[in-house]
Structure 1
């Protein structure tokens, strides 16, 4: 098993930067799915100006920059220096608070602040043991605050902690990180056990076209 920093730096080098504008011509936007301009948007979080919002696994910062543009106090956490460097370069004037930190460590050690919303888009909620992470998020969410996260659906029969491979060059072995895949009912139970209520879990179908894999989207209230 590799260190997550090395893996996510390698991943950052493979992924293209966010487009300058989306299909509607907007410079910032929120996307939960792996399909461009598809699915619900920021309304899932119910964020208003002045709300404090935390992105766990913010990557290159596109979603958290959109929240800042809406007037939120936007905080992003990621373990990858390469990802955070790209975020700072793309959004230098957005007023983002960006931290290089493991999500669980940030919640349990580094911050004493509470948040109105916490979210993860193919981020730390997928790559951290939820038995540890969900209670830590619950502690830092204000009463009535929202947790939402998205990731790919699990492969049927492959549940719990799985190996996820991040490719490098043809001459190098892939890097390996752990991810946690569950069916929707299990996510509901995990969130309820961690003190959340009004848990809603769905699979957003892929848009018409050759790609058929949808997106798990889970939302819960503290």
Structure 2
């Protein structure tokens, strides 16, 4: 299996930068889906100003930076040096934003302050064994805290640990990382088994047009 830092550095080079502004002219915004200007925003976290929130697999930091502008204490973690370089170059001066290069479970095990919300947008919750990650999140969420994450819905019949391929050059084999795909009902069962309540998992349809792949959004409370 590919070293995850190398894999996500490679992925980072393939992804376009977040636009300077969205369709409403905002310089920061929150997006749960793979489509621009689509779906709900930071309100899913239900966290008032001053709350501490954790982005697992923050990538280039746009979502965490937006939360910082709302007065939240936003912490982003990622294993990719290149992703974090981009995040710091664009958002590093945002008050209340802290970024760390570290693996998700390790950070959760070492943090002692706890969080009012933990979230992941096509991030570490998708690419970490839930049997290991969910208990670590539950341990660090404060009473009543929210866990919200989004990812692509599973391919029918392909559930559990799957191979996710990150392309490289035309003469190179793709890099391979593990991801965990489950149907909405299976995610709900797993979260409840790990002590979460108010659990829901729903697929948000793609925006109108030729796009057919929606976004699975899972929500729960500690």
Is 1:107 aligned to 2:96, yes or no? no
Within 5 Å, which residues of 2 pair with 1:1-222? 1-95=1-95, 96-108=97-109, 110-222=110-222
Render the CA deviation track for 1:82-128: whole Å, top value 9, x for unaligned. 000000001121032101011011111x3112100000000000000
State how many pairs are aligned: 221
Distance 1:107 1:183 in 2: 26
Render the CA deviation track for 1:147-200: whole Å, top value 9, x for unaligned. 000000000000000000000111211000000000011100110011100001
Give the unaligned 5+ runs of structure 2: none
Partner SS for 2:125: helix
Distance 1:210 1:169 in 2: 28
Distance 1:36 1:210 in 2: 15
Distance 1:92 1:59 in 2: 13
Distance 2:80 2:128 in 1: 15
| Deviation, structure 1 residue 221 | 0.3
Task: Give the alignment's TM-score, normalised by structure 1.
Answer: 0.98
Give RMSD over aligned pairs: 0.6
Task: Give the alignment's TM-score, normalised by structure 2.
Answer: 0.98
| Deviation, structure 1 residue 68 | 0.1
Distance 2:16 2:158 in 1: 29
User: Which runs of at least 4 in structure 1 moved beyond 4 Å after TM superposition?
Assistant: none
Give the unaligned 5+ runs of structure 1: none
Distance 1:89 1:15 in 2: 16
